[in-house]
Amino acid sequence: MLSNYKLDFEDEKILNELDNLCGVVQNKEVLRDIILYIKLKQNNELDFGNYNIIVRNNSSYNLLNDLLKVCSKVFLKYNIIKNESICYLDKIINSRRECPLDKIAGIEDSIIVINEKKLRMNYNDEIDSLNRIVNQFNDKLFIFEDTNFCEGETDGELGKLAPFRMTIDKISLDDKIMYCKKSFDEHNIKYKKQDIKEYADVPFWILKNMLIKLLIECKSKNLDFVDKQMLKKNKEFYSKNTTRNRNERNSKKQTNKNAKEELNDLIGLDEIKMQMEKILNYVKLNKERGQMPSLHMCFTGNPGTGKTSIARVIGKIFEEENILSGSGDFVEIHGRDLVDKYVGWTAQKVHNTVEKAIGGVLFIDEAYSLVADRRGSFEDEAIATLIKEMEDHRNEICIILAGYTEEMNNLIKLNPGFESRIQFTINFPNYNEEELLEIFNGLCKKEKYKLSNNCKNTLINNFKIAKKENNFGNGRYVRNLFEKVKFEQADRIIQTNSKAINSIINKDIENAIKSISFKEKEIRKIGFC
């Protein structure tokens, strides 16, 4: 019986296709679990009801299609779908109240993809219909693409409809190096590994064009080897025609700011800025005396209070002041990202994550999620390894643990090793109403919207009320409200045929506030939290 639940050669071959895809290889274990679940379900050993997946898409490139092509091979093999086509449905619910999905051309036997962000535009009307659709067509495979600002929100609302979760990461330098090597290997072109890293360190869309030109040159000249000079010449061609021109245009619009200027330009955070200045002075002086202190920090406070922004600036400051030898790289992860599924894997995952951030900042958000209910868990292994890495690389990296104040205090208390390695603990207060208004005005200015004079009081009053909520979202709340305001403003402009397309009036803000309040009540009502 146990042999039924092992992956066969064809399964492994499909999974290995992910190794050659940028930004999606981390989903290999999830797809492996899905295959095992299919086998268990078909033998009536386990049943979650469906195979639906929420895919958190953090990339600006079209990588979802690449991931789903591999997934579709698995589902096709086990007769979950009948063809490998992918049907993207952005507008299905309002226009089809009776949910006749089987009448839509091309949807009969394929994977159905719904962009959750577009669904959210009419969330209150569509969430009930979505539930009805999924339950009515439970033999179909749904993929919910999550591109929301707040990660995890989609899981809370649609988790009952989709038991599996995948992620698409931003394309890293390692991904681009792999992409280059794969392209050269496929065309039997030899290269030196040490030359590829510098060559691949460009935006991915530029790299793809660089490689096309280089491959054409090699094949047309019958060359089977690319040396460092060829790579440099090829890169310089695209640098002159793309990156350089773009940078020149940008430099005319904005002056170059150093990291300290960026820090001072952040809204509010006056106490934090003064603390950072003292920390920098302390570190610089001790380094000069040959007694380099630990750089690791703990940030506590509610979400949206500027913890991530400050962490990014810290990396740049340490680079500019020659505190760290790296380029100020900023690596942001969730605490759970350090935990793997099998014995011995977690320690290696923690080590690899720290290695990526050497010379910069490793920002671990919601680090308190590493607190486990029992001793000897994978979470304990992650904490033990992280504490060792903090000591081993104390002069090479700044590791910042971040999260809610009470939960972070509990994490440090339960793991004394953190306390001796964390040099600085900084608490981030909530923004006041005027600062929240300044953030909102900044978003308007950035997107060239103009607020009418009577909007200020409405926003201030709303911020006063919103701040009373537990774990108030601060800057995140403002950005979410701004998106809702834009939505209401666009609807008003079209309905009234107004020419003032850049103007936001008080009614837009009032409607946006109502929609947020109504949505929260609806979520509580239908139990998606």
pLDDT tens for 245-297 read: 444 444 444 446 788 888 888 998 899 999 999 999 998 888 888 778 889 99
* 328 pLDDT above the threshold of 70: no
How buried is residue 136: exposed, middle or buried, by Cβ count under 10 Å (0-12/13-18/19+)? middle
Reading the block at residue 272, the tokens are 């934090």
Confidence label for 529 from pLDDT (cuts 50, 70 and 90):
very low
First vs last Cα of the chain: how many Å apart?
A: 39
How far is Cα 178 from Cα 194, in angstroms, rounded to an integer?
Answer: 13
Q: What is the pLDDT of residue 72?
A: 93
- pLDDT band, residue 521 (cuts 50/70/90): very low
* C-alpha–C-alpha distance, residues 418 and 405, integer Å: 15
Give the mean model confidence (pLDDT) for residues 306-318: 89
Pair 161, 134: CB distance under 8 Å: yes
Judged on CB neighbours under 10 Å (0-12, 13-18, 19+), 162 is buried
CB of 84 closer than 8 Å to CB of 69 = yes
Residue 184 predicted with pLDDT over 60? yes
The tokens describing 149, both together, are 């600002």
Residue 99: what pLDDT? 46
Q: Are 163 and 50 in contact (CB under 8 A)?
A: yes
Has residue 518 got a pLDDT over 60?
no
Q: Is the pLDDT of residue 15 over 90?
A: yes
What pLDDT, on a 0 to 100 scale, did the predictor assign at position 260? 86
Calpha distance 224→12 (Å, rounded): 32
Domain 441-526 has CATH 1.10.8.60: yes
pLDDT of residue 76: 92
Return the minimum-mean-pLDDT range out of 51-65, 368-382, 489-503.
368-382
Q: Which residues contact 186 (CB under 8 A, 6 or more apart)?
A: none
CA-based nearest residue to 233, from 213, 253, 249? 213
Architecture category of domain 259-428 in CATH: 3-Layer(aba) Sandwich (3.40)
Total count of residues recorded for the chain? 529
For residue 243, the model assigns a pLDDT of: 44
Domain at 2-168, CATH from 1.10.10.10, 3.30.70.3460, 3.40.50.2300, 3.40.50.300: 3.40.50.300
What pLDDT sits at residue 257? Answer: 73
Nearest-angstrom CA–CA distance, 449 and 244: 30
Percent of the chain residues topping a pLDDT of 90: 37
pLDDT at position 473 over 90: no
pLDDT over 70 at 1, yes or no:
no
pLDDT, one tens digit per residue, over 480-492 is 999 999 999 999 9
Kindly report the average pLDDT of the chain as a whole number.
83
User: Does residue 265 or residue 525 have the better pLDDT?
Assistant: 265
Instruction: Write the pLDDT tens digit of every residue in 54-111.
Output: 999 887 677 888 899 999 999 999 998 888 888 877 544 444 444 455 455 555 667 8
Q: What pLDDT was estimated at residue 49?
A: 83
Greater pLDDT, 319 or 183? 183
User: Interhelix angle for 475-496 vs 433-446, to 10°?
Assistant: 50
Q: Return the closest-CA partner of residue 360 out of 389, 386, 323.
A: 323
Q: List, edge to edge, every strand of the sheet that includes 361-365.
A: 330-334, 361-365, 398-403, 297-301, 424-428
**The tokens of 364 are what?**
């671990």
pLDDT over 70 for what percent of the chain? 85
170's CB contacts (< 8 A; 6+ apart) are 23, 58, 59, 60
CATH architecture for segment(s) 173-253: Orthogonal Bundle (1.10)
Amino acid sitting at position 483? E
Residues carrying CATH 3.40.50.300, the chain: 2-168, 259-428
Q: Per-residue confidence at 2, pLDDT binned at 50, 70, 90?
A: very low
Give me the pLDDT at residue 167, please: 93
Q: Is 375 exposed, middle or buried (0-12, 13-18, 19+ CB in 10 A)?
A: exposed
Q: What is the pLDDT, as a whole number, of residue 17?
A: 92
